[in-house]
């Protein structure tokens, strides 16, 4: 279903909704800059969220950005395990609603 080449179509969104897309890109850029969290930590968070939402585009883009920021195999593995724990934890805690 996904094709990384389709990301070129983001330019069509930029042209079709220029004000909103300029605001989005500015927000995205600001969100990933160093701050209280390093850019590396932010990219590791993004990888974990992408794995949880299962967005193949986000997984690939943020994996690449995490690597550029210095992420190791071990850091990516731990981010994946955290994502899995959060996803599993959601199922377990929501299961409490099965009982009266």
Q: What is the DSSP string of 31-90?
A: HTSSSSS-HHHHHHHHHHHHHHHT-HHHHHHHHHHHHHTT--HHHHHHHHHHHHHHHHHH
Q: What is the pLDDT of residue 58?
A: 96
What is the full per-residue pLDDT of the chain (100 aa) written as tens digits? 689 999 999 999 999 999 999 999 999 999 999 999 999 999 999 999 999 999 999 999 999 999 999 999 999 999 999 999 999 999 999 999 999 9
Q: Where are the domains of the chain?
A: 8-35, 38-100
Contact 80, 51 (CB under 8 A): yes
Q: What is the pLDDT of residue 2?
A: 84
Q: What is the pLDDT of residue 10?
A: 94
Q: Which CATH number fits domain 38-100: 3.40.50.720, 3.30.465.10, 1.20.1290.10, 1.20.1050.10?
A: 1.20.1290.10
């Amino acid at each position: 279903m996904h094709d990384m080449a389709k990301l070129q179509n983001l330019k069509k969104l930029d042209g079709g909704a220029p004000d909103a897309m300029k605001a989005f890109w500015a927000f995205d850029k600001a969100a990933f800059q160093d701050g209280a969290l390093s850019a590396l930590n932010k990219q590791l968070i993004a990888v974990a969220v992408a794995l949880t939402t299962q967005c193949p585009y986000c997984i690939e883009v943020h994996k690449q950005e995490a690597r550029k920021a210095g992420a190791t195999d071990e850091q990516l593995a731990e981010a994946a395990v955290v994502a899995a724990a959060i996803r599993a934890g959601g199922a377990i805690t929501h299961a409490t609603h099965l009982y009266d």
